[in-house]
Each structure stands twice: as C-alpha cells, then as structure tokens.
C-alpha cells in the first residue's frame, strides 16, 4: 500500500514533509522511489529517536536473544538513551508499539517483525 | 537515509511551522485515524478540526491518508480508495490485535498531472457512505436530533422483536439437566451469560441491560419474582415476627418444619421457612456466595432503568 500511495505524490519538489512519520512506513517507500525532493523533513512526537538511532548506527544491528530479561535490559538502556536499545524497540515490543506502550512480546510473535524491520532498514539505507 | 539526509524533528504538528511551506513543498500526512488506537498518537492527541483547517488554507501540496469520517468531511470526497485489512489493538491490557476490513482513502489538493498515476478509484459502496455522510453534515441540529431519534426508535423496535428469540435462547441454555434435548447443537458448557457476552458487541447492550429486558419473562425470573413478592407480603404480616438471634430463628424453623408435616406444603409455611432460613444464614454469615442474575438486577434496578 505504501508504494501505491507514494506513486500518487508529486514526482519532484523542494521539500518532502511527513508530520506523523511513525516508524517510516511511507518514508522508506518514498526514499527508495524515484521521487526527487531537495529536502526531506520527518517529524513525530515520539519516534524520532528511532531515526536518530538509524542515522547513528546504520542498517546493521545485532539482535539479542529474545527473552524477558533481555527485554528489560534493553528497556532500561532505552531510557538512558542507548541508541541500540532504541533501534531494537520495534523488534522487541509487541506490535512494535514501544517499551512504554505495548511491552514484551513472545518470541514466536517477534520473528515476523524482526524480518520486516531488517528488510526495511536495508532498503532505507541503500545497503 | 543517507541519500535523503532528512531533518528530524520531534514536535507536535501544530508547532512544526507548516504555514511557511510553499507550492513546491509536499506534505504527506498519515495521521492516526479518527476513532482508532495506535501507539505514537491516539486520535485524542490529534486535533482534526485544526488539521483540516490547516489543510484547507495550505499553500503547500498535501496528501492525506484516512477513512471516511465526519472529522474529515470538510475535505470533500477522496480521490482514491482501496479496501484493506486494518489491524488494531483490540485489548490494550491483554495485548491482543483485532482485524477488520476498511476502505483506505486519500485526499489531496494538487492535480493528477503532478503525480505518475492518474486513475481515480471510488467504489459504489464508498460513494453511498459519502452520500450519507454528506446528508448528515447538511442537517440542522433539530433535524439531526430528530433523525437520530427516529433511528433509535427503529433500533428499539427491532430489539423488541428480538426478545422472543432471546427468551428461547435463554430457555435452551438454562434448561435443567433432564432437558438435554433443548441444548442440542449448543456447545456443552455454554451458559446463557457467556452467550450474551459473546454477542455483546453486536447487541450493543450490556449483560445487565439484556437481563433487565428479559426480567419477568423467563420462567426462573417469574419464579424469583413470585417468591420476592411473597416475601414482601409476609414481611408486612404482623403474625410473623422474625427473631433476631440464630438460636431463636433455628428454633422457629424447627417448629415450622414440624407444623408443615401436618399442614402440608401449600399452607404458606414453606415461604415462612424460606424467609427464616435466609435470615438465619444472613445472621450467622454462612450464606454461600452465589451469582444470581435477578438479584443483581434487583439490587441496581433503579440505576439500570435510567441507562435503558
């Protein structure tokens, strides 16, 4: 759906703005499409640290063993501003909702999210 | 990310300064949709009226994702739509997802030739929905109020028509052990309460409201009501003084049992005995905890009447 929506955007322009970027579902599609924009501007009241983490770490992140202890450790690290913990947030939490909102998710449910995010990160960073 | 090198900003939309953008800028808005529960925002944190105001006077190009909803009515008809499966948190505490089919819609303020695709897809079902919403939006307050009143009457009338079926279902699921024929086809352990709860979202009424609707109509309910009325009458009778102490009550009960041996069960002594037994258990604190539907209704009857 994201690709279909992005295809309906103007082909070129000065600034591309997303006021509610979330985890970037539309942005990743737009960034990897043929859209030509001079500037890109992403905004979100709660998920911007996720993009800072990608910018800092890149598209390679070691995914730790998925269990409650590791989740609690990453959650605490995230509160301290640890970028790896921030980047792992959608992988470790239920529905990608975040440490503070949705909480721990069982391993079997985490696997599809993990694959999805990995692929997404790969696309976005052009690796 | 490296190629686009975006500017990253954690602001409320209102504080972003979108008004400074011009005709060569494009704003893609995928806001949390009205009446949904998503994580980063809830619809309570997005001021849709303000958002629509901003879009209607915008100098920049914008594309908004959403659903047909009164909050977005002022934007007019969407130019594009597609049916999708929508995932949402059905139970935040239990962390459960729900899924339903919705029609994703797009609105924009620029022309087709600026994008690579030019088709417009708005199915008939969506057009009907838009027409109904347009009609609702055009009504004055009194007309809208009357329209809703009429609709509520229809719902009430329809629900009355449902009561006989509800009673039949109650009879089947509440049938005593000997009448297993009545339960044929029903899940073995399903109770009437569970069944009502399973239909709650469709019925649009709570368990207690359903119980109230059926009050006095089911056999068990009639029996309980008759007993309650008899008790009420007995309390008014001066010839039955219920003693205060447990020993005195037990003694009175023993006399009644012996009296019943001679007088038979139709003498009204049984009801006196029941009243004494209840009082005895209450006084001694030995009454077992039980969930009695009618008792629950009776205890909050006045409150429920207001709700209904």
Alpha carbon dihedral B234, B240, B242, B246, in 10-degree steps, equals -120
CA distances from B78 to B122, B213, B274 (A): 8, 43, 68
Closest chain A CA to residue B81: A5
What is the C-alpha separation between B308 and B303, in angstroms, rounded? 9
Residue B39: its pLDDT value, please? 47
Q: Which one-letter DSSP state was computed for residue A8?
A: T
Q: What is the pLDDT of residue A87?
A: 83
What span, in angstroms and rounded, lies between the C-alpha atoms of A64 and A71? 9
Six token digits for residue B206: 């709570």
For testing the chain B interface, which of A6, A18, A20, A105 should be mutated: the one with the most B CBs within 10 Å?
A: A20
pLDDT of res. B36: 52
Tally of CB atoms within 10 A around A121: 20
Alpha carbons A50 and A48: distance in angstroms, whole number: 5
pTM of the prediction?
Answer: 0.55
pLDDT digits (tens, 9 = 90+) for B45-96: 677 888 888 899 999 999 999 888 777 888 888 888 888 876 665 555 555 6
Spatial contact of B43 and B33, defined as CB atoms under 8 Å apart: yes
Residues of A in contact with B45 (CB under 8 A): 45
Q: In what order do the strands lie in the sheet with B80-91?
A: B7-9, A36-43, A12-18, B26-29, B61-66, B96-108, B80-91
Distances (CA, A) of B119 to A43, B122, B192: 30, 10, 52
- A76: tokens are 């605490």
Listed by number, the residues of chain A in 13-52 with a beta carbon closer than 8 Å to a beta carbon of chain B are 13-22, 25-27, 30-31, 37, 39-49, 51-52
Query: What tokens does B151 get?
Result: 């609709």
**CB of A103 less than 8 A from some CB of B:** yes
Instruction: For chain B, positions 265-294, list CB contacts with chain A under 8 A.
Output: none
Contacts of B50 (CB under 8 A, 6+ apart): B14
What's the whole-number mean pLDDT along residues A34-46? 88
What's residue A14's pLDDT?
A: 92
pLDDT of amino acid B29: 92
Burial of A115 by CB count in 10 Å (0-12 exposed, 13-18 middle, 19+ buried)?
exposed
Report the pLDDT value the prediction gives residue B231, as an integer from 0 to 100.
65
Chain A nearest-CA distance from B109, in A, is 11
Q: State the Cα–Cα distance between residues B3 and B281, nearest whole angstrom.
A: 80
* B8: chain A residues, CB-CB within 8 Å: 42-43, 48, 51-52, 55
Alpha carbons B40 and A113: distance in angstroms, whole number: 17
> How close A11 comes to chain B (CA, Å)?
6
Residues in chain B: 308
**B64 pairs with which residues across the strands?**
B29, B107
- The structure tokens listed for B304 are 């429920």
Which residues of A are less than 8 Å from B11 in CB distance? 43, 45
pLDDT value at residue B292 = 41
Residue-wise pLDDT tens for chain B (308 aa)?
777 888 887 877 777 788 888 889 999 998 876 655 444 444 446 778 888 888 999 999 999 998 887 778 888 888 888 888 766 655 555 556 666 677 888 999 988 665 555 556 667 777 777 778 777 777 777 777 777 777 777 777 777 777 777 777 777 777 666 567 777 777 877 888 888 877 777 777 777 777 777 776 666 666 666 666 666 666 655 456 677 778 888 888 888 888 887 776 556 777 788 888 877 877 776 544 433 433 333 333 333 222 22
Q: Residue B301's pLDDT is what?
A: 32
The partner residue sitting opposite A14, judged by closest CB among B10, B24, B89, is B24
- Look up residue B67 and give its two tokens: 């659903």
* Token pair recorded at residue B79: 């130019």
Helix, strand or coil, per DSSP, at residue B26: strand
Cα B201 to Cα B204, B208, B210, distances in angstroms? 5, 14, 12
Q: What is the pLDDT of residue B28?
A: 93
CB-based burial of residue B122 (10 Å sphere; 0-12 exposed, 13-18 middle, 19+ buried)? Answer: middle
Torsion (CA) B141, B142, B145, B150 in degrees, nearest 10: -140
The reported pLDDT for the residue numbered B289 is 40
d(CA B70, CA B102): 15
Which DSSP string do the residues of B182-215 spell out, in sequence order? GGTTS-TT--HHHHHHHTHHHHTS-HHHHHHHHT
| Per-residue pLDDT at B300 | 31
Strand partners, A15: A39
Record: contact A45-B18, CB cut-off 8 A? no
How high is the pLDDT of residue B200? 73
What is the spatial distance between Cα B300 and Cα B304, in angstroms, rounded to a whole number? 6
pLDDT digits 0-9 by tens, A48-96: 888 888 888 887 777 877 778 888 888 888 888 888 888 888 777 776 6
Would you call A46 helix, strand, or coil by DSSP?
A: coil
């Amino acid at each position: 759906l994201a690709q279909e929506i992005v295809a309906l955007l103007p082909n070129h322009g000065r600034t591309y703005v997303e006021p509610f970027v979330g985890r970037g579902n539309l942005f990743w599609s737009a960034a990897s499409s043929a859209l030509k924009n001079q500037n890109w501007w992403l905004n979100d009241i709660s998920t911007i640290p996720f993009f800072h983490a990608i910018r800092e770490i890149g598209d390679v992140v070691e995914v730790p063993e998925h269990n409650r202890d590791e989740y609690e450790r990453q959650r605490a690290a995230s509160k301290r501003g640890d970028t790896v913990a921030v980047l792992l947030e959608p992988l470790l939490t239920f529905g990608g909702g975040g440490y503070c909102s949705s909480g721990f998710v069982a391993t079997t449910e985490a696997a599809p999210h993990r694959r999805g995010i990995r692929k997404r990160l790969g696309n976005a960073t052009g690796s | 990310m490296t190629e686009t090198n975006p500017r990253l900003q954690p602001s409320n939309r209102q504080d972003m300064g979108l008004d400074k953008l011009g005709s060569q800028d494009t704003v893609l808005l995928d806001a949390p949709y009205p009446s949904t529960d998503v994580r980063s925002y809830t619809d309570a944190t997005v001021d849709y009226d303000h958002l629509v105001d901003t879009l209607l006077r915008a100098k920049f190009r914008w594309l908004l994702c959403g659903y047909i909803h009164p909050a977005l009515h002022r934007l007019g008809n969407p130019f594009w739509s597609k049916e999708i499966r929508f995932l949402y948190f059905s139970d935040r505490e239990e962390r459960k997802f729900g899924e339903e089919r919705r029609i994703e819609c797009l609105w924009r303020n620029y022309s087709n030739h600026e994008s690579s695709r030019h088709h417009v897809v708005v199915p008939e079902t969506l057009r009907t929905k838009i027409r109904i919403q347009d009609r609702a939006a055009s009504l004055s307050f009194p007309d809208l109020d009357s329209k809703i009143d009429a609709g509520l009457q229809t719902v009430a009338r329809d629900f009355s028509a449902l009561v006989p079926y509800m009673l039949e279902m109650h009879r089947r699921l509440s049938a005593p052990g000997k009448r297993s024929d009545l339960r044929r086809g029903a899940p073995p352990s399903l109770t009437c309460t569970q069944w009502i709860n399973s239909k709650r979202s469709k019925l649009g009424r709570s368990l207690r409201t359903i119980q109230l609707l059926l009050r006095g109509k089911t056999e068990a309910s009639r029996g309980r009501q008759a007993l309650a009325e008899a008790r009420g009458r007995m309390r008014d009778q001066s010839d039955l003084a219920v003693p205060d102490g447990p020993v005195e009550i037990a003694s009175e009960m023993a006399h009644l049992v012996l009296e019943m041996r001679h007088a038979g069960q139709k003498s009204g002594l049984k009801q006196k005995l029941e009243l004494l037994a209840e009082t005895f258990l209450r006084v001694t604190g030995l009454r077992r905890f039980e969930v009695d539907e009618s008792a629950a209704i009776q205890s909050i009857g006045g409150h429920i009447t207001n709700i209904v």
